[in-house]
Amino acid sequence: MVVVLKMIFNFADKPGCHSAAPAARAESASLFDLEEGCTAILSEFELPEQLADQLMNLGFVPGLEVKATRSGPWGDPRIYRVDGVEVALRRDVAERMRVTHTQCGRGAVAEVSAAEVTDRAASPVETRRYAGPEGIKALTPTVEEAGD
């Protein structure tokens, strides 16, 4: 329990990403709240099926890692790197896409090898194996899980 909290504090100290501490856990946030330079894992879309399908065809497949890279002036639209491509999305769409495991700073991993798709989709915890040493901290189980 203590260990877990310490890790979270480590993240909170990192500059440039205010939401790091709470979102580093498996808690869900909207993609739009993902700040530039941060990565997260796509979880679900609160969008009509057709639109969700379009997004998936562009590369936004749940389970994949997504990174907010840059944005237009005034922060909208924002460009996301996902599955090897960069795609610009407006706020109205990004707000309705949920992500988990937000991670910022040097530990952020932009690229995911293709083999991870299956694993990530099956169980997020598995991604520990791939996310690198910094990533493991980010994917620390939630307080509830750790408390058990």
| Interacting residues with other proteins (CB under 8 A) | 48, 50-51, 53-59, 61-63, 69-74, 76-77, 79, 83-90, 92-93, 111, 113-118, 121
Least distance from other proteins to the Cβ atom of residue 133, Å: 21
> Looking at residue 104, what DSSP letter applies?
-
Cβ neighbours, 10 Å, residue 95: 15
Least distance from other proteins to the Cβ atom of residue 22, Å: 27
> Distance (Å, rounded) from C-alpha 135 to C-alpha 4?
14
Kindly tell me which of 7 and 93 has the beta carbon lying closer to other proteins: 93
Least distance from other proteins to the Cβ atom of residue 33, Å: 18
Dig out the tokens for 4 from the structure: 């877990």
Kindly tell me which of 61 and 136 has the beta carbon lying closer to other proteins: 61
Kindly tell me which of 6 and 70 has the beta carbon lying closer to other proteins: 70
Angle, CA of 32, 83 and 92, to the nearest 5°: 25
